[in-house]
Amino acid sequence: MSELELINTYKNELQNYSIEQLRFKSEEEVWSIGQMYDHLIICAHEYLDNMEICATLNDEQPLGKTEFGEKLYKIGGFPPIKIRLPDELNDPPNNSDSKDELISRINQVILRLSQWESKVDSINPNYKVKHGGFGWLNAREWYDLVYMHFRHHLRQKNELEQRLVK
């Protein structure tokens, strides 16, 4: 499955859920499917914002990724583990969007990705923005992180679907 097909699959599968299923939380600390979608969309825009910042920089950054960041990019994705952000970075995602709102928001992510797809590799790879856990990332790495993050959440998506009342 190509990277764009992956995000389109997320978008198309929204049609499979009722609004009740989209917002269903099996436990207080467990996200709903809608919250997972909200998280993915917000992060994708954040990563693309950082990629765009890289495109505007004029000073090269000699520093690189953290050890975890190096491993992440070496294997091309997140390890199959659950990652919990620190509480101050872990506000619960929105759980009120409709399917149409989520589809529209995913379409914005797809549009931004497609607008930058042919340009991202022309950005100086030494123009970087710091990621809190992965270190200094260049435009290509921020761009790729969108897809790695969507792939990472496939397992969570499957788990949440198993908890749904059909």
pLDDT of residue 88: 61
Sign for the CA dihedral angle at 147, 152, 86, 31 comes to positive
Match 């000699």 to its residue by tokens: 62
pLDDT of residue 90: 64
pLDDT of residue 87: 60
Instruction: Name the CATH superfamily, with its identifier, for domain 3-163.
Output: dinb family like domain (1.20.120.450)
Task: Report helix, strand or coil for 137.
Answer: strand
Low-confidence ranges of the chain (pLDDT < 70): 1, 85-90, 165-166
* Domain boundaries of the chain, sorted by first residue: 3-163
Count CA within 13 A, CB hemisphere, residue 102: 27
Q: Which two tokens stand for residue 163?
A: 């908890």
115-132: b (≥16 Cβ within 10 Å) or e:
ebeeebeebeeebbbebe
pLDDT of residue 4: 83
pTM of the model: 0.93
Q: CA-CA distances (angstroms) from residue 8 to 55, 97, 113, 147, 158?
A: 26, 18, 12, 11, 16
Q: Which two tokens stand for residue 65?
A: 């990724």
